[in-house]
Amino acid sequence: MSNAPVDTGRRRFLTWTTAVVGAVGAGFTAVPFVASWNPSAKARIAGAPVTVDIGKLETGQLLLVKWRGKPVWVVKRSDVVLAQLPSLNDELQDPDSIEPQQPGYAKNINRSIKPQVLVTVGICTHLGCSPTYLKGNFAEHAPGVDYGFFCPCHGSKYDMAGRVFKNVPAPLNLVVPPHYYVDDSTILVGLNQGEAEA
């Protein structure tokens, strides 16, 4: 044991230096760890909004786009189809769209922002099959109704607003994704108006 005087200044310097180096090391360790919680670029792209050009969409035509790995249908409906929607209410499980399958702005008889254009996720709410768009030959599944969506997996059927008929396996209307019109011929699927892209 040495009787030499203790250099408290040097000891304090070494203690502080060790603490600073330890804090910097902890920061370098924490940054990649916290960054790993962020979604990957691939995941961000998969959930990114999708721009849909409907400028050339013809009446009766269905346009298919993918958003978050799901099929999204954009259908231009005729005035005849729109006029028939109210007459189907008694045949539907949720004609007034009470269940939260759509944003507030699509909680109307047409389930859309603009009456002529339906935007909906093309996945049956029963077990996730993709229904078929039947135009002109839907009446074999719903007498008196020429247009609609029929799920071949288990027989669920939906009208041209994506509302599910009674007495079929599907419990809910088709989902209307968040979307808005950028201009008269462009829809952005994946965001509500006023939401910023992340």
pLDDT digits (tens, 9 = 90+) for 100-157: 999 999 999 999 999 999 999 999 999 889 999 998 888 888 888 999 999 999 999 9
Of residues 51 and 198, which shows the higher confidence score?
51
How many whole angstroms separate alpha carbon 181 and alpha carbon 61? 19
Residue 196 clears pLDDT 60, i.e. is over it = no
Is pLDDT above 60 for 44? no
Count of CB atoms situated within 10 Å of the CB of 88: 19
Most confident of 3-7, 34-38, 104-108: 104-108
What pLDDT sits at residue 12? Answer: 79
Q: Is the pLDDT of residue 46 over 90?
A: no
Would you name the residues annotated as active-site residues? 154
Share above pLDDT 70 across residues of the chain, in percent, rounded to a whole number: 85
Q: 8 vs 145, which has greater pLDDT?
A: 145
197, two tokens: 């892209």
Residue 187: is its pLDDT beyond 80? Answer: yes
Instruction: Name 52's bridge partners.
Output: 187
Task: Tell me how far apart the alpha carbons of residues 55 and 183 are, in angstroms, rounded to a whole number.
Answer: 10
Residues β-bridged to residue 117: 76
